[in-house]
Amino acid sequence: MTLPAPKLPHYRRLYEMLRKQIIDGVFTEDDLLPSENELCAIHGLTRPTVRHALDALVNEGFIGKHQGKGSIVQKLPKGIGILSIAGTTSALGGKNLRSELLVKPYVKAWDDPFMFKLSETELNSGCIHMERIRYYNDKPIFYDINFIPNINVPRFTSRSFENNSLFDVLRNAYQVEIKGGEQKIRAIEASATISQHLAVKSGHPVLHLERKFDTNKPGFFIYSSIYCNTEEQAVYGIF
């Protein structure tokens, strides 16, 4: 995984700029973006190049194009793969949501057996293991165990993750983006350990998800095992 090229293609620069403007709130839902012709004039680019950038924004769910009318900003796409609490709008950041690092990231060999089949490269690199508890209204609702292949993620173990999205860190510091993934879901009876972490009675039903995230880096996946207490709130996810 190399550092990004210092020179991005024109269409990509425009795409990143517009994307950032939407995320930063410069354009918000239902706003019209500058027209294709305006963007050509502003950036000294041609329509096919501008359209290429806009197509990418459409594909990622940031805007919708309407012939004759313009490019309209949509509600910020909720991250595919991010779990939250039904009824809240973000995984973290709401006043009643907070996250606590239970086990700081450290490098270890993969658990054997592991929940998903691993490639040779992954097996040889070991993984970074970390555990977090997420609280809603001071009640533990998620017990989250992450396994990140120790491939090209220098100084990962020294980063701070409390109240930070793991995915944001990966995107901003390592240019790793989540593209989707697969998951195995079970309803299980809470074991002694799980009931301790999630503050439920032993034997109480809890949700268990084993997830494998695809990223924009070929061959680089992120793994996660999550236990959830859904007694009061359902777990919410986009797929």
Partner DNA sequence: ACATTAAACTTGTATATACAAGTAATTATG
Partner DNA sequence: CATAATTACTTGTATATACAAGTTTAATGT
By beta-carbon proximity to DNA, the closer residue of 9 and 219 is 9
Query: Can residue 19 be called a binding residue for DNA (CB under 7 A)?
Result: no
**Amino acid identity, position 95:** K
Query: Can residue 78 be called a binding residue for DNA (CB under 7 A)?
Result: no
Question: Smallest gap, in angstroms, from Cβ of residue 237 to its own copies?
Answer: 6
Among 1, 61, 65, 214, binds DNA (CB under 7 A): 65
Query: Can residue 81 be called a binding residue for its own copies (CB under 8 A)?
Result: yes
Judge if the upstream peptide bond of residue 113 is cis by omega within 30 degrees of 0. Answer: yes
Partner from its own copies, DNA, none binding residue 116, C-beta < 5-8 Å depending on class: none
Q: Please identify, among the stretches 48-56, 91-99, 174-182, 183-191, the one whose residues bind DNA according to the rule CB under 7 A.
A: 48-56
By beta-carbon proximity to its own copies, the closer residue of 187 and 192 is 187
Query: Can residue 206 be called a binding residue for its own copies (CB under 8 A)?
Result: yes
User: In sequence order, which residues have a C-beta less than 8 Å from that of residue 199 and are 6 or more positions away?
Assistant: 139, 140, 229
Number of residues that bind its own copies (CB under 8 A): 31
Phi, psi (degrees; rounded to nearest 5) at 178: -80, 130
Query: Can residue 79 be called a binding residue for its own copies (CB under 8 A)?
Result: no
Query: Can residue 126 be called a binding residue for DNA (CB under 7 A)?
Result: no
- Residue tagged 């359902």 (tokens): 234
| Strand duo 63-66 + 70-73: pairing | antiparallel
CA atoms within 13 A on the CB side of 41: 5
Asked if 203 and 175 touch (Cβ cutoff 8 Å), the reply is no
Of 190, 192, 201, the residue nearest 227 (C-alpha):
190
Q: Which residues bind its own copies (CB under 8 A)?
A: 48, 55, 59, 78, 80-81, 86, 180-189, 205-210, 228, 230, 234-239
